[in-house]
Amino acid sequence: MSNILKVSVPTGGLENTTRTNPINVNDVNISNVVDPSKVVRPDGQRPNPDKNLGTNYESNFQSFLEALRNRPDLVESFTQIFFQMGSMVSSGIGEDFAAEIAKFLEMTKMTPEDMVQFLKEQGAQNSKFSSDVFQTLRDALDSTKSVELKTAILTFMKTFNDASSSRNTLNNIISVLKSMSRYMPQSYRQGLMEAAESLKQGGGQEAMDANISALKREIIPFLSTYTQRTHDMGRVRDFITLLTLNTARYESGTMEKLFADFQKMASFQDFKKVFGEDMGKTFDRFLEELTANKSNQFADSLAANIHRALSGEGGYEMKAAFQNIMSAFLLNESVYMPLQHFILPAELFGNLMFSEMWVDPDSGNEQENGRDGEKSRKMLVKFDIKDVGYFDMIIINQGTKIDLQLHYPEKFQNMEKDIRKGIAELVEKNGMVCQKLYLVKGGPSIAISDVFPQIYERKNAINVKI
């Protein structure tokens, strides 16, 4: 019989080697020396920080930081496309794509008043919970000392968020099922696609209950049977994980759970002191927020352009540029990004301009906040004006006072006096006072982390440890 276990007979004559050849603690060729009386020297082994048998709870945040360091320059990527979109419409691309680009370009034609309104609407879209009813809820959260009420409010907010995202969550579930089917044998693929098609879009709570029942009683058991029979340890298992997470979130957003969480929250006296005694009207206010139509035509048009470009309709260069744009957008929407992010593609007085800005509304510290207690706000603005150049601007605002630092193209170095005068007049025109103004000629683009170091310090990021 072949020796499949590789068993060998011990070599004789080595039983008493420790007696005849004792260990010398001073022998530098020996690692992990054990000397009970004292520590003679290091054992020669270096710890490996990357070798961790436990869960690395910081991996998500470290991935975010790595992505931030390698972040594509959105201004550069967007202007590469935006400044050429007019010629693309007549360059022979598909009619549907050309029509979508033309629609997008029409939206970018703005007046100064339109730009202000556009940024306000974008800010409202960025803050899902920005209405009066949620501001009152924040007041209740801040004013109460009850840990139980705080927990109830946060639980309700999570359920409300799941409920308001239920349509998108269902779309994610359907997308996951379709993507999963591509990695399955044909004999299983057909059954999964039929199950995915049975999920109902819209239709209110009844359709939602039917979808949850189909997911929990048919689709997930079907996939469980599939993995047991095929032992598929590849991409399908990854998709199953995404499916179960989205299913849990979808089920968490039912009206039944939302109402139950609201009743628990509304049973506290501290909550009633802030909202009043009529809990029926209060719940109706939350329902109005839940059913409000908050669609954004500009965002929808931009998303349609990105989708078509990534599908290859505009060629390789456009696909690569839009991929950078999408990556930058997703990074700025990360739960670890403690800043509000805005974009402004605009055609103003016949000039094409693209601007990107980050705002920290809670940037105040002891040095920046004044004695009057007003909170200071910091923002970083990057903008590129076609045929003019690229600018970086840092603004610290406190009440009606601002400090401003502007990095301008080198070709304007002889116009610095005019730039100073123009900025001072513009600030004064808007009822503000420019306390400090720094002008910097040229130089590299300012990194986000240089202006907002708290991104790395995690002072006001959301903790999403598993």
pLDDT digits (tens, 9 = 90+) for 244-279: 999 999 999 999 999 999 999 999 999 999 998 788
pLDDT at position 325 over 60:
yes
Average pLDDT, the chain: 81
For residues 113-126, average pLDDT: 82
pLDDT higher for 7 or 287? Answer: 287
Share of the chain above pLDDT 90, in %: 31
**398, 367 in Cβ contact below 8 A?**
no
The predicted structure's pLDDT at residue 127: 64
What pLDDT band is residue 50 in, cutting at 50, 70 and 90?
very low
List, for residues 205-241, the tens digit of each pLDDT value.
Answer: 888 999 999 999 999 999 988 888 888 878 888 899 9
Residue tagged 């359709």 (tokens): 207
Element (H, E) at 212: helix 204-214
pLDDT higher for 315 or 217? Answer: 217
The predicted structure's pLDDT at residue 41: 52
The predicted structure's pLDDT at residue 445: 87
List, for residues 170-190, the tens digit of each pLDDT value.
Answer: 989 998 998 898 889 888 888
pLDDT at position 43 over 80:
no
Radius of gyration of the chain, Cα coordinates, nearest whole angstrom: 30
The predicted structure's pLDDT at residue 259: 93
The predicted structure's pLDDT at residue 55: 43
In CATH terms, 361-461 corresponds, of 3.40.47, 3.30.230, 1.10.287, 3.30.379, to 3.30.230
Distance CA 267, CA 281 (A): 15
List, for residues 364-411, the tens digit of each pLDDT value.
Answer: 554 444 445 567 889 999 999 999 999 999 999 988 899 999 999 999
For residues 354-361, average pLDDT: 90
**Domain boundaries in the chain?**
145-267, 361-461
For residues 411-423, average pLDDT: 92
For residues 89-110, average pLDDT: 81
The predicted structure's pLDDT at residue 295: 64
The predicted structure's pLDDT at residue 412: 92
**396, 413 in Cβ contact below 8 A?**
no
Judged by average pLDDT, the poorest of 126-130, 192-196, 326-330, 460-464 is 460-464
pLDDT at position 58 over 80:
no
Q: Which region, left, alpha or beta, applies to residue 349 given φ > 0 means left and ψ of -120 to 50 means alpha? A: left
The predicted structure's pLDDT at residue 294: 63
Strands across the sheet containing 376-385: 340-348, 351-360, 376-385, 389-398, 401-408, 433-441
The predicted structure's pLDDT at residue 418: 93
Q: Any bridge partners for residue 406, and if so which?
A: 393, 439
pLDDT at position 346 over 90:
yes
Helix (H, G, I), strand (E, B) or coil at 269: helix
Task: Report residue 204 as tokens.
Answer: 């209110």
pTM above 0.75, yes or no: no
Residue type, 132: D
Task: Report residue 106 as tokens.
Answer: 């029409």
